[in-house]
Amino acid sequence: MRPSSPPRVSVEGEASGQQQQQQTEGQKVRSSAFASLSKEVNQARLGMLGELMDNRKRAEESEQFFLTRMQQEATSFQHLVQMFEESLQKVSADLDSRLSGFIQTEEVNSMLEESAKKFEERFSAVENKVDMKAHESSARIACLEASLADLRDEVSKLKEDRQQEMETINARIEARRERRNALTVSAAAKTELKRSESSMTSRVSALEEKLEKELREVQEEMKQGFSTVNGERLDAIDGSLSGLNSRMDAFDSKIDAVDNCIISIQGKHKQDREEYAAKHAELESSHEELEKKVSEKWTTIEQNISDLEQGIKDKADTESIVQRCESSMTDKISTLTKEIDSRFETVSKQMVDFQKACDDQTEESTTELEQLREQLGKVHEVAKSASVEGDELGAKLELKLQHHIDGDAGRVAFFTGDNLMRLVVFNSVLLKLWELLRLAEVVNLFPNVSKQVEVLPPRIDQIQRDLHTKLGVISRKLRHLSHCGLNHTWKIDDAVNKLGALGVSAGRFIDSPSFGLGAYKNM
């Protein structure tokens, strides 16, 4: 009977409902994926922003510490220069006051000795103060170098942190802000360093000029006022002044060393800034590449989602049919494989038993035939020379031999006929299995069924090869028995009836090369 219209409408309604349900499920999956992705992006963004703010605060604190160190060094150096200027002014004032009152030689000698002692004491005090200030300045320079090393470590840490921070989406804005801040801070530091250097150089140059002028004035006054009096003491004063000049040169060398340290610090700071700028450019390029990769992956994700939705729509109509076909084919194939395995096991056991029985019977029959023939020959020889008793004994032996041969032939014929009938039935089952496999080729579009069907052909080929070999063994055994002169009464009616019940013609199996029966083919 044909199906009526209401069931068709119900089937279409069920299919449309399934399609709508699958579409809603796909939309839910996509919305959940988008929500989870957005949550992860927002969390990563907030974490990176917090780390950026912390790193920015650290950088500002380190730069502020460096600036305070530089300011402290500049103020200490200015204080040292002021103290040295004050000491020189005092020395020059003392010299002026002492030299202006020198009239007599004795007074000049005493005044010069006292002034020399005081000058030496003051100069030693100034030298000690200068050494202390130099020691303090070296200690401060060491502290400054340590702070610079810490600053380098912090800068390296900042570089590593910024490499991770650039993986986020909003890192470019923060990096630009940090770059601007760094540039402004570095410019301010450079200007302050330049100002401190210029002030120091100007003060030192002014101090040198002032000292040179005072020394020249003192020398001129000494030459004019005391050219003829106490030349030796004036020479001593010149020696002390030359020592003062040498100490001033040493102080200038220390000042130059401090300047060189400041210049080296500035060079290192500049090199660090250049390296930081290069790393920043590399981070920007890597961030751009990362944005490109993220955009490409996002487009691929969207394309995959659209393809998945389209595949769900396409498979919605055929899913029920595919499931039914797969279930039916899997059931049929499983039942067939079970039947074939069970029959193959029984047939293989029977064939093994048959081979053993045939081998045993052939050996026994051959040995008995040889023995009987030998006895028969002996009997014939004896009968030729003997009387009627020999003829009777020969007849009895012939009857016994014929009876024995008939018994062996009956047993062999009965055993071989039954087993051949079973082999024919098993071959018909294999033919039906091949027909099912040809029908299964139509359903190759369904992957699960095709995978199960692909496993069967090699197994069936192996079964056929084993069957052909065993049929060949049977045919050779039958030919051997036929050559030995045995008569068989083998019938195939039962096998033909069973093949007809299975719906297969028996002629193809009888004429097949596997049933090479020889003289028994057309009986």
Where are the extended beta strands (E) located within 20-146? none
- 170 pLDDT tier (thresholds 50, 70, 90): low
For residue 31, the model assigns a pLDDT of 76
What mean pLDDT, rounded, does the chain reach? 64
For residue 445, the model assigns a pLDDT of 41
CB 394 within 8 A of CB 379: yes
Is 493's pLDDT higher than 60?
no
CB 185 within 8 A of CB 66: no
For residue 423, the model assigns a pLDDT of 54
pTM exceeding the 0.75 threshold for the entire prediction: no
Is 351's pLDDT higher than 70?
no
Q: Is 441 exposed, middle or buried (0-12, 13-18, 19+ CB in 10 A)?
A: exposed
Strand, helix or coil for residue 168? coil
Tokens representing 150 are 């810490």
Is 63's pLDDT higher than 70?
yes
Q: Is 77 exposed, middle or buried (0-12, 13-18, 19+ CB in 10 A)?
A: buried
CB 231 within 8 A of CB 222: no
